Structure 1
Amino acid sequence: MKARNKRLMLVGGGIALLVAAAALVLSAFQQNLVFFHTPSEVAEGKAPVGKTFRVGGMVETGSIQRDADGVTVRFVITDTAKVIPVSYRGSLPDLFKEGKGAVVQGTLGADGQFRATEVLAKHDENYMPPEAAHALEQAHKTATTVQQ
């Protein structure tokens, strides 16, 4: 085999390996991609049923209920316009409280119940994820406009 053919095969093999590696990276990225939705978007059907995504908003006051098993917690996340019922099985963060911001990750059931696999509580009184702050602001504007 000529040296030129060997080089072409080597370059071709290298390109094939790079393409395969890029495909694996993109595949892994696609599987781990988690989108953020507001309670209003979920209520409007814009969130995927059965797929993992995040919902952020405020924990509605008076909505936290603990099941008899001591592990399952049910609460409601709101953006002041719409509410989403959430169930979570596990330990809640110390900063998780009614009337405070939270982001939950999980799946939406066909019954409209959000089954969280992870609960994140805001860590500072003044901090809120930009997406959640924007969503709350938009929902508040919409609610104000509808009431007038």
Structure 2
Amino acid sequence: MANIVQRYAQGQGETCEQIARYLRTQGVVTSSSTIRSVLKAAGVFHPRPPGRRAKQVPDLERLGERYAAGESLTALAPEAGVSMDTLARKFEAAGYKEPACRRPQAAGPALPSGIVEQYRRGADLGALAAELGVSSDALLALLRFNGALRNR
């Protein structure tokens, strides 16, 4: 493995996967993660092979503001020309925080008037569900969503 560390350290631009493939052709059973671990332990591992440049994101500031305002990585990454992972790393490095909640809270379906009152007075859930034309499970979910479940 010493020759692999030396070869990588010289900066020939090989990736861990390329080194692992080369070793497999030589009869050595290994993986790219094993090569990465060996290179890290030797202190020569680079996240990118030497000679490769980091991907640049044009107009990162404008995109970062849109991201902070709630626009998704899915929408912004194609515009930036990079993957969602790359864009997320760029935003993190630039100090842009992920919005706490991007999705607006759903209003949800409202129950017809009187159903909640009937349920609270003790009406049978199955009978109310039949009246509405839904299953009792669906009505239970609606009651839960609307905060109308009675205490047991």
Q: Same fold (TM over 0.5)?
A: no
Structure showing the higher helix proportion among its residues: 2
Q: TM-score, normalised by structure 2?
A: 0.20
Larger Rg: 2
**Which structure has the higher relative contact order (CA within 8 Å, separation 6+)?**
1
Q: TM-score, normalised by structure 1?
A: 0.20
Structure showing the higher strand proportion among its residues: 1
